[in-house]
């Protein structure tokens, strides 16, 4: 079967446990869900601002979670075709995420090396694990126990206790990064896939039971079936599958056939902490209609571990799209008592009434709720400072007044207008100046003299204008001439050092096009012997090439300093380093 529909490359895919649905995420940030029986698109979900890197289906409900390079995690309702919640907290791309077996938690991790545990019913982060020293490539929940495993590019696997929120153990450093991990069906051991090898681990105490050489190169995924482990890997346009007979592999609590069964060895291979750890309690139906209950925990246990009751996590937040719908789905009255509540740090419920100030930009055709009277001033200011539209429409809607115990006073109309206009005049001046600059460049461009228009943009000393122009030239490589390179390369140097990611991406793309298009020409002219006689064209070309070479050499320290970055940005700088190597 071949499923089509995405307009940009597919980054990740995931099957639903029932194998009736498959979801795929693309570089554009959109998700598409296919019905495998009907072989057609069931849903299209859009909302991410960058590549979708990881996906997982909820084990019971009709939900799917997605992690993206925009650092956000989104929870989607398949039936209602919309985003239920957005989780914000990772400082870099979210490369992996998993639902817990009971569907109450989400574990996420990525390029920042931090593993976060999110509670769906509380709509907030429970804890963070920061012990990894490199990007985390995969996270997996134990099928039964409160245990989480994470594999990283630091070449280790760490095991986390989800009751005490502490690290249980860590494996020894392997020869290559951990690409995928999988708990055995009975939960007695963990399989780890890395470069051309399969490792079998126990965690209490930490021990490697077996190492099996498998010629799967960079394995992408693992699964088990009929006492066989199946691994999949891909290389360019070829997908390969490998099968390992688990009967011939040493595992926790088992003896390989042919060895003498020794009671002491058997006891050594058996995990000691399994019986002490709590097990998941799965609902009988969907997550919104669980039918089983757990007795309320004693007061002594209703505290968050590590004495973090009063800690306010300001970095990790969750945005609920529809509070009533979210409460009905993930906070039902019959919900399982999964997480000990934080007594001194309850999750604040969204305000049910009060006065809302709504703000609309006429030029953007978007209506946005900026703040309510229950929002702190710093939150209101942050939202307002992000407005960039010139024409504004103010809608003042008065709802029933908040409860009397609300200590925050309502804003007056004058205060609301003052807050909205704060910074507006400054932004209008900046946008007006930028518009004039672009209009001037466009006027010169229409005359056909691209070089003059580029030089005029350089003299304006406005990187935003230069980014707009380069984005156009990058889409039309035929516009690139050797004359332009000497004017643009110094601007690229500024873009590569910018704090704005979009500026850096534009600079990388422009530099890549210059090196691919003119790199061989510049290199050849550096070693060409002087011409005999008078050849003005050749001498001018050599002069331009030497000037470009001198400017490109100034970029080498920047490329070296940023080549070690994680994620796509680091790989882009490493690719530029390879292209620059042709000049050495």
Q: What percent of the chain has pLDDT over 70?
A: 72
Tokens found for residue 445: 């461009």
**Would you tell me how many other CB atoms lie within 10 Å of the CB of residue 382?**
13
200 assigned to some structural domain = yes
Question: Which residue did the predictor score with more confidence, 55 or 289?
Answer: 55
Question: Which residue did the predictor score with more confidence, 333 or 109?
Answer: 109
Asked whether the whole model's pTM tops 0.85, one would answer: no
Q: How far apart are CA 132 and CA 108, in angstroms?
A: 13
Asked if the model's pLDDT at residue 508 lies above 50, the reply is yes
Tokens found for residue 351: 């305000």
Domain boundary among 245, 261, 289: 245
Cα-atom radius of gyration of the chain, to the nearest Å? 29
Question: Which residue did the predictor score with more confidence, 388 or 500?
Answer: 500
- What pLDDT score was predicted for residue 550? 84
229 assigned to some structural domain = yes
- What pLDDT score was predicted for residue 342? 37
Q: Tell me how many domains the chain contains.
A: 2
Domain boundary among 212, 245, 278: 245
Domain boundary among 176, 211, 245: 245
pLDDT band at 114 (very low <50, low <70, confident <90, very high): very high
Element holding 210 (H helix, E strand):
strand 206-213
5 assigned to some structural domain = no
Asked if the model's pLDDT at residue 21 lies above 70, the reply is yes
Query: At 82, which CATH number?
Result: 2.130.10.10
389 assigned to some structural domain = no
Query: At 502, which CATH number?
Result: 1.25.10
400 assigned to some structural domain = no
- What pLDDT score was predicted for residue 488? 84
Average per-residue pLDDT for the chain: 75
pLDDT band at 187 (very low <50, low <70, confident <90, very high): confident
> Average pLDDT in the 284-296 region?
39
- Under DSSP, the state recorded for 581 is G
535 assigned to some structural domain = yes
Burial (Cβ within 10 Å: 0-12, 13-18, ≥19) of residue 74: buried
Q: What are phi and psi of 369, to 5 degrees?
A: -80, 115
Q: In what order do the strands lie in the sheet with 228-235?
A: 219-225, 228-235, 238-245
- Domain extent for 29: 10-245
Asked if the model's pLDDT at residue 298 lies above 70, the reply is no
Tokens found for residue 523: 């290199």
Only one residue has tokens 């056909």, namely 448
Tokens found for residue 489: 């390369």
What ranges make up the beta strands (E) of 353-391?
A: 355-361, 366-372
Q: Report yes or no: 100 and 280 within 8 Å, Cβ to Cβ.
A: yes
> Average pLDDT in the 95-101 region?
93
Reported as a single tens digit per residue, the pLDDT across 473-494 is: 888 777 777 778 888 888 888 8
- What pLDDT score was predicted for residue 533? 65
Reported as a single tens digit per residue, the pLDDT across 402-435 is: 444 443 446 677 777 777 777 788 888 888 888 8
534 assigned to some structural domain = yes
């Amino acid at each position: 079967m071949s499923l089509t529909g995405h307009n940009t490359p597919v980054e990740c895919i995931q099957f639903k446990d029932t194998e009736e649905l498959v979801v795929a995420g693309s570089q554009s940030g959109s998700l598409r869900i296919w019905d495998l029986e009907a072989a057609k698109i069931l849903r299209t979900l859009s909302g991410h601002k960058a590549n979708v890197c990881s996906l997982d289906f909820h084990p019971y409900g009709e939900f799917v979670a997605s992690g993206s390079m925009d650092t956000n995690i989104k929870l989607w309702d398949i039936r209602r075709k919309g985003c239920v919640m957005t989780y914000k907290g990772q400082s870099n791309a979210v490369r992996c995420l998993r639902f817990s077996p009971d569907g109450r938690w989400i574990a996420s991790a990525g390029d920042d090396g931090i593993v976060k545990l999110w509670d769906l019913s509380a709509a907030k982060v429970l804890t963070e694990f920061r012990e990894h020293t490199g990007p985390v490539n995969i996270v997996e929940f134990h099928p039964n126990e409160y245990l989480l495993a994470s594999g990283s590019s630091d070449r280790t696997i760490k095991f986390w206790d989800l009751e005490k929120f502490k690290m249980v153990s860590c494996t020894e450093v392997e020869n290559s990064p951990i690409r995928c991990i999988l708990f055995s069906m009975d939960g007695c051991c963990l399989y780890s896939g890395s470069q051309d090898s399969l490792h079998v681990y126990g965690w209490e105490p930490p021990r490697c039971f077996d190492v099996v050489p498998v010629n799967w190169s960079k394995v992408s995924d693992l699964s088990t079936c009929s006492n066989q482990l199946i691994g999949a890997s891909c290389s360019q346009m070829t997908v390969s599958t490998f099968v390992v007979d688990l009967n011939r592999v040493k595992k926790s609590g088992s003896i390989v056939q042919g060895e003498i069964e020794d009671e002491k060895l058997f006891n050594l291979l058996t995990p000691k902490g399994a019986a002490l750890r709590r097990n998941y309690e799965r609902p009988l139906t969907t997550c919104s209609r669980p039918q089983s209950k757990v007795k309320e925990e004693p007061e002594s246990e209703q505290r968050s571990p590590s004495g973090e009751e009063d800690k306010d996590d300001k970095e990790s937040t969750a945005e609920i799209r529809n509070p009533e719908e979210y409460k009905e789905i993930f906070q039902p009255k019959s919900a399982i008592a999964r997480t000990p509540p934080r007594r001194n740090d309850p999750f604040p419920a969204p305000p049910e009434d009060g006065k809302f100030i709504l703000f609309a930009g006429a030029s953007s055709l978007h209506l946005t709720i900026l703040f309510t009277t229950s929002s702190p001033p710093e939150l209101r200011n942050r939202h307002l400072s992000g407005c960039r539209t010139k024409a504004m429409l103010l809608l003042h809607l008065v709802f029933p007044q908040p409860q009397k115990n609300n200590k925050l006073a309502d804003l007056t109309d004058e205060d609301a207008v003052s807050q909205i206009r704060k910074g507006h005049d400054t932004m209008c001046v900046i946008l007006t100046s930028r518009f004039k600059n672009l209009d001037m460049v466009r006027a010169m461009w229409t005359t056909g003299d691209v070089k003059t228009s580029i030089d005029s943009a350089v003299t304006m000393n406005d990187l935003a204008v230069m980014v707009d122009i380069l984005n156009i030239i990058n889409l039309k490589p035929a516009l690139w001439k050797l004359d332009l390179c000497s004017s643009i390369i110094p601007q690229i140097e500024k873009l590569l050092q910018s704090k704005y990611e979009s500026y850096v991406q534009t600079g990388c793309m422009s530099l890549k096009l210059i090196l691919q298009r003119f790199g061989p020409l510049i290199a050849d002219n550096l070693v060409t012997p002087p011409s005999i006689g008078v050849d003005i064209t050749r001498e001018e070309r050599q002069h331009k090439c030497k000037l470009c070479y001198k400017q490109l050499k100034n970029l080498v320290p920047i490329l070296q300093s940023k080549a070690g970055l994680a994620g796509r940005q680091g790989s882009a700088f490493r690719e530029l380093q390879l292209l620059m190597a042709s000049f050495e």
